[in-house]
Structure 1
């Protein structure tokens, strides 16, 4: 206790962050089978908010020192200057508070359309991430330059100029990111050669959606725009590869209604993502999707064929997301063999697997899969998160040729998650045309 009291503010927050992270590990292992899935999901969401805010607090302390303490650190200030600095402190404090409150909107502000406070707080969170990255980057650059300039110290004025530059760049990047994310998703056309594709199925148009994230910053209007764009493509098949939603059906039923307007010729299909399991409402979502004509592929498959050509088909399979097993969600868990149990070696196999890691594992178990469709990465969504997304995923974005007869396509996502920004990436509706190899 005495040692803890001597820790700096950053040290205390670091310890608190470690405690929260350790509690997440405990709840996912020791407690996971002792409480019901709804309680586990609620506990996970609370822990997640605490963990995120602990990390944010570390960054907030750093931002405050650079943006407030150093910029307003003069001791002998004129009255007008003092008043300006007080206003600046209040503005920075409000900005940080909004960033910290962003994930609380997942609990209280989910409705048919995004609430203005959700949009504001998540926008602040995006700016927070950009600003923190730039401040750390400039700070590291200064240290490197100091090392190569014979130890000459960085002056207060130099540090202030760096901070002002970081603030200006953050404002410009944030405005671009908000504008970019508000645009309709791009329609990207991809041709994929498929071994064993029957002649009657040549040219099959499959539209891929993923990572729509209905929730605090994505609502009915955006979903309706997506559905309209998909119908204009006149697809044969529509597939949604996970992370459709960030909340329960009871809160998003009206927002999700446009899904019933999808009009593919041969059917719509859905496979779960990790965020479906965070809602603890997967079965209710399955029921809702079926009522809208969308078939969930829950470690299962469907034969897709053209009318009058039932002897020619492709096996379209879907697996549960990896997070189902981690959360020990009852009756769910990735099972590739079960998902492909009715697939014939004579016909091509297309697998829906939300996470690229799941795609990689599936191909290790069944190398005969011809095409895997994934999402999850958002192509990083916005810089600097792009770096992390690229490093932690085996496949990042786009079409990958794994072997002569196997390909993986990873979509950057159809909307965005939480933060309404895209920098260095674009939302995408993917039209995949299957061609005979």
Structure 2
């Protein structure tokens, strides 16, 4: 019979080097990422056959070096201990610019160069300069468009969702979802007011905010969040924490939302009643809550549903889509989430997909559970949204149990 303790020891010894390499890679990422983001475009635009005059090449190279040095320094000053908003805006903007420039330098540098070669268009330097101007043109257009998309009041996305267990009296219940407002270094108090006006125009029965209200403490971002107090709903306004609340002072955000008239659903539920039927509206803290060390903060679905009638349909608020595995195991009817931003800046969604089961929209999980994932109402960090539009979501709940017409 094999010695299982020796097998386990061998497996553990094999995993240890892999985990050590992964940790080393993660520690090196803050250095590797900026180098790639700035050096690849620099080479594609300046040194892949263009033969620019020395003065042009030197000046452009200096700009890339300035970005390579300035971006991480600004982000450290902006998001580190100093929390300097102006530095954060500069660092975040440079991050967005470098990501778009890197992406399209790679794509156009390969695809366009290959297409020009196949078509026999241009030779040597001429072909290389066509690639350079194509990269710069596409990048400029996408950044201008992405900035306008990020700063606009989101479009309303309406969706009818049928819940098999929903009573006829609740048919037509209007649920508005906002999430990931990310009030932050770039002041958006006016934008916040306009978003709340758009929400009020939808005449919701229930308004939900599924977390990531802001980057920063409630005291610091209060002016941007205060318009949330003007949001109207005929039944309730409910809120759950996101992971970004736990980067600062989560309890401060819970207290502020309570002050503004929103009901924080911290592992608890309420009943939404209409027409003689009831819907359980439950909420859980974000999955990062327990590791934050804050007393009483954790994602506890059993606690959220404690005392609820198991025959009633359940609408669950959970910031991250990946919580849906637990929701499906408990037979939740509909989970509302955010967190992904739809990737925010294409093609970042491929990386988001590694961590989350879905990027945006409606999906089914298990026999009963539906998940709706919003692309988010605001933006995080870089003030750009490229091929990932923000949204205010209107979900109209439908019952299959309507009485037959007479």
What TM-score comes out, normalization by structure 1 length? 0.76
The aligned residue for residue 129 of structure 1 is: 99
Post-superposition Cα deviations, 1:181-239, rounded to whole Å, max 9, x if no partner, equal 22220111111112332333221111001111111235211211111111111111111
The aligned residue for residue 63 of structure 2 is: 91
1:312 maps to which of 274, 277, 299: 277
CA RMSD after TM alignment: 3.1
1:167 maps to which of 126, 129, 136: 136
Matched, 1:333 2:301: no
Whether contact under 8 Å (1:127, 1:171) holds in the other structure is no
The aligned residue for residue 345 of structure 2 is: 382
Whether contact under 8 Å (1:217, 1:419) holds in the other structure is no
Whether contact under 8 Å (2:267, 2:283) holds in the other structure is yes
Whether contact under 8 Å (1:17, 1:54) holds in the other structure is no
Deviation at 1:156, TM superposition (A): 6.4
1:106 maps to which of 43, 59, 79: 79
| SS of equivalent to 1:217 | coil
What CA distance in whole angstroms lies between the structure 1 residues aligned with 2:137 and 2:296? 51
Structure 1's unaligned 5+ residue stretches are: 1-14, 23-49, 75-80
Post-superposition Cα deviations, 1:286-315, rounded to whole Å, max 9, x if no partner, equal 111111111111111111224xx6x63211
2:169 maps to which of 200, 218, 226: 200
1:283 maps to which of 251, 255, 260: 251
Whether contact under 8 Å (1:99, 1:128) holds in the other structure is no
2:386 maps to which of 417, 423, 436: 423
Map 1:341-352 to 2 at 5 A.
341-352=306-317
Deviation at 1:69, TM superposition (A): 4.8
The number of equivalent residue pairs is: 375
What CA distance in whole angstroms lies between the structure 2 residues aligned with 1:327 and 1:251? 20
1:62 maps to which of 40, 44, 57: 40
Deviation at 1:414, TM superposition (A): 0.6
Post-superposition Cα deviations, 1:348-377, rounded to whole Å, max 9, x if no partner, equal 1000111111122321x31x2111101111
Structure 1 residues 159 and 72: CA distance shift in structure 2, 3 A: closer
Map 1:31-50 to 2 at 5 A.
none
Deviation at 1:334, TM superposition (A): 1.6
What CA distance in whole angstroms lies between the structure 2 residues aligned with 1:355 and 1:52? 25
Structure 2's unaligned 5+ residue stretches are: 1-19, 401-406
What CA distance in whole angstroms lies between the structure 2 residues aligned with 1:103 and 1:219? 22
What TM-score comes out, normalization by structure 2 length? 0.82
Whether contact under 8 Å (1:102, 1:122) holds in the other structure is yes
Structure 1 residues 161 and 192: CA distance shift in structure 2, 3 A: same
